[in-house]
Amino acid sequence: YLVEVRLDDKTAGRPIAAVSDLVLLAFDKRRGWQRRAHFVETAPGRYRAMLDATPPVGRVELLVSSASQDLPFSAGRVGAIERSAP
């Protein structure tokens, strides 16, 4: 799965560029499964991470974190991937 996010400084009204420590945490809280991936910047304030695998079924929560931006995982929920049995 390709995960893309955009970081904006809402006060200044501009993208937050050059964040080198942005990390994706994907986890399934019911199964204990988790993966982390580092984001790369694709344009000013736009970042992309590749999630190489997910469980075959279930809900995978997606969170981002950056120490340099004082953004903990608990404040960085960006969505979820829902997979059901065929």
Question: What pTM did the predictor assign?
Answer: 0.88
- Tens of each residue's pLDDT in the chain, 86 residues: 899 999 999 888 899 999 999 999 999 988 889 999 999 999 999 999 998 877 778 899 999 999 999 999 999 999 998 888 77
Residue 75, φ and ψ in degrees, nearest 5:
-105, 0
Look-up: residue for tokens 């501009």?
Answer: 14
Question: What is the 8-class DSSP label of residue 43?
Answer: E
- In the structure encoding, which two tokens stand for residue 23, read together? 């990390």
